[in-house]
């Protein structure tokens, strides 16, 4: 008798399209100019703080919307905005910790359920872009600089649409956004890694 795992794998093999290789590739020639929407299922922000000098502590936010206007011939004219529902998408490994982060001590999601990033400037720098933008958390808007690297582009065989993806890194001070509880015992600096996926509109 087949196990449920084997049956599930067999069903997926039947349902999924046959793909000889990864459809996305880091080939800038594949990038098509136009408007894209955020792929909310595959866009996430990973954050990391130093917890009392004992451990590095990680968490995630998922995107709930946004868009990008991409112009491969003039990258500086490109624009990006990404929305986050902190109340719903905040993910950590402990339910108690998640509830504390959502409380008035930190994000106060009952009052400020969402966050947003909007780019204001993009500077091509050879193999990467420097993206400056405004990050809004708890109605506090501060400039943030991100190092952006192109991940890949191509046609997604599942939805037959053009896809494009980037990875961005940067850091912020959480106290700038009213999230400074326990600093500096828990580091004020927060390191960010953003994996952003977009689908042609």
Q: Which residues pair with 85 in a beta bridge?
A: 114
Return the pLDDT at 26.
87
Cα dihedral 88, 92, 93, 98 in deg (nearest 10): -70
What is the average pLDDT across 87-115?
97
Q: Indicate the length of the chain as a whole number.
A: 201
Q: Choose between 11 and 63: higher pLDDT.
A: 63
Nearest 10 degrees: CA dihedral of 142, 99, 54, 56?
Answer: -50
Give CA torsion, residues 200, 87, 92, 145, to 10 deg: 60
183 contacts 174 by C-beta, under 8 angstroms: yes
In the prediction, which pLDDT does 4 show?
A: 54
Exposed/middle/buried for residue 90 (C-beta within 10 Å: 0-12, 13-18, 19+): buried
Residue 165's pLDDT band, with cuts at 50, 70 and 90, is: very high
- Evaluate if residue 9 carries a pLDDT over 80: no
**Could you give the maximum distance between any two Cα atoms of the chain, in Å?**
59
Reported as a pLDDT band with limits 50, 70 and 90, residue 112 is very high
The DSSP call for residue 31 is P
Give the model's pLDDT for residue 12. Answer: 52
> In terms of C-beta density within 10 A (0-12 exposed, 13-18 middle, 19 or more buried), how is residue 113 classed?
middle
DSSP alpha helix (H) spans, 21-178: 86-89, 95-102
What's the DSSP call for residue 185? T
Q: Give residue 37's pLDDT band: very low, low, confident or very high (50, 70, 90).
A: very high
pLDDT at 8 (0 to 100): 55
Q: Is 12 left (phi over 0), alpha (psi -120 to 50) or beta?
A: alpha
Query: pTM for the complete prediction?
Result: 0.86
Given this model, what pLDDT does residue 126 score?
87
Asked whether residue 20 carries a pLDDT value surpassing 80, the answer given is no
Average pLDDT of the chain to the nearest whole number: 92
User: What pLDDT, on the 0 to 100 scale, is given for residue 21?
Assistant: 84
Share of the chain above pLDDT 90, in %: 84
∠ Cα 144 150 152 (to 5°): 140
% of the chain beyond a pLDDT of 70: 90
d(CA 196, CA 201): 15
């Amino acid at each position: 008798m087949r196990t449920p795992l084997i049956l599930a794998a067999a069903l997926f093999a039947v349902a999924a399209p046959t793909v000889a290789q990864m459809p996305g590739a880091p080939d800038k020639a594949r990038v098509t100019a136009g408007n894209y929407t955020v792929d909310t299922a595959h866009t996430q922000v990973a954050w990391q703080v130093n917890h009392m000098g004992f451990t590095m502590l990680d968490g995630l936010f998922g995107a709930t919307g946004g868009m990008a206007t991409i112009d491969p011939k003039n990258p500086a004219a490109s624009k990006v905005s990404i929305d986050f529902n902190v109340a719903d998408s905040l993910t950590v490994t402990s339910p108690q910790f998640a509830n504390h982060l959502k409380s008035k001590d930190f994000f106060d999601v009952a009052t400020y359920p969402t966050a947003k990033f909007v780019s204001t400037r993009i500077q091509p720098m050879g193999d990467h872009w420097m993206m400056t933008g405004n990050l809004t958390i708890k109605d506090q808007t501060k400039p943030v600089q991100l190092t952006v690297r192109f991940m890949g582009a191509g046609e997604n065989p599942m939805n037959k649409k053009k896809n494009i993806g980037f990875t961005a890194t940067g850091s912020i001070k959480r106290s700038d956004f009213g999230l400074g509880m326990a600093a500096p015992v828990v580091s004020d600096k927060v390191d960010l890694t953003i994996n952003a996926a977009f689908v042609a509109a």
